[in-house]
Chains A and B, each alone.
Chain A
Amino acid sequence: MSDFNTAPLPERMLMAPHADALGMQLVSIEKGRGVMTTPWREELVGDPETGVIASGVVTALIDHTCGLAINSAMGEAMPIATLDLRIDYMRPAAPRTGVTAEAHAYRLTSTIGFVRAEAWDVDRGDLVATAQAAFMLNTRGQPLKGGA
């Protein structure tokens, strides 16, 4: 496995131990946009009566996908840090169903990245959650090696 700092972005996004533990998968990536999914599994259930995936899993997926979108929007890979993340939960996901999130980094300044994200279970048009986030860019003041 290549080094976290030098790995290509898609690979690096999956090398984060928490993303790996949640079973996150990369669906697609383009400049400023990313889609990731977390398949359902028993361990991630938040309501044992219904088998619905925990909202915390959606939170982590959205946070991670926002990071992917920011990283893909930047010409070079830089360390970033979430400043704030607001999530509206419109409805619980369907029982025993995974969640997919798409994030769009719609504006980058020299220091801050602004991202919007949406999450759904089955139908892209029937959302489970929407989110808005701001990230600090380049938190260590220098670019990482390797491209985005």
Chain B
Amino acid sequence: MNDNAIRNLNAFLQKVPYVRFLGMRVELAGDEMTAVLPFSPHLIGNPMLPALHGGAIGAFLELTALAQLSLAQPTQRVPKTVDITIEYLRSGRAQDTYARAILRKVGRRVANVQVEAWQDSRSQPIAGLTGHFLLRTAP
């Protein structure tokens, strides 16, 4: 993985309207990809706490998994989400959120990916996701 791969991935992500809507981007830290969801008021679910919407966090986690898979298989089409399980551990506060994905198994047709999101400290994750994604060969 290198800067160029991350640049290409960001360029690809910014072509997706919903990624721009969320405001998500990816960065390279060492040899690992970190996804960033900068805080924005439109991501709030409960204005009284305030807390990020669980749906926005879930979508960010899923997109992080897809981004990590795209990085591993740049020539393939974007995988299709088969199922996701999201665990909410702490409420997401009104600040930037980060996520990293681990490809636990990339098979011939399906990949199993695990993602964790945090805010202040990586040792205090706010949410996790495990998902299965259908791999698709290039058209």
Contact = CB atoms under 8 A, between A and B. Distances in A.
Interface of A: 4-5, 15-22, 42-48, 53-57, 59-64, 79, 81-89, 92
B54 A63 contact: yes
B117 interface: no
Interface of B: 15-18, 20-22, 41-48, 52-56, 58-60, 62-63, 78, 80-88, 91
A16 B17 contact: no
A87 to B, nearest CB: 5
Contacts of B46: 4, 16, 79
Nearest to B20: A43
B47 A4 contact: yes
Contacts of A61: 55
B57 to A, nearest CB: 9
A56 B84 CA distance: 11
Contacts of A53: 18
Nearest to A17: B44
Contact of B42 (A17, A79, A89): A17
Contacts, number: 123
A92 B80 contact: yes
A8 to B, nearest CB: 16
What are the nearest 9 A-B pairs in CB distance? Answer: A60-B55, A56-B59, A18-B53, A54-B18, A21-B42, A63-B55, A17-B44, A45-B17, A59-B58
A44 B82 contact: no
Contacts of A56: 18, 22, 55-56, 58-60, 62-63
18 contacts: A16-B44, A16-B45, A16-B47, A17-B44, A18-B45, A18-B52, A44-B18, A45-B18, A56-B58, A59-B62, A60-B54, A60-B58, A60-B59, A79-B46, A84-B85, A85-B54, A86-B86, A88-B83
Nearest to A139: B91
Given A4-B47, A60-B56, A81-B91, 14 more contacts: A17-B43, A17-B44, A18-B52, A43-B21, A59-B86, A60-B53, A60-B55, A63-B58, A82-B88, A85-B54, A86-B84, A86-B85, A89-B81, A92-B80
B55 A44 contact: no
A139 to B, nearest CB: 8
Contacts of B82: 88-89
Contacts of B20: 43
Nearest to A66: B54
A46 B16 contact: yes
Contacts of A88: 82-83
A88 B84 CA distance: 7
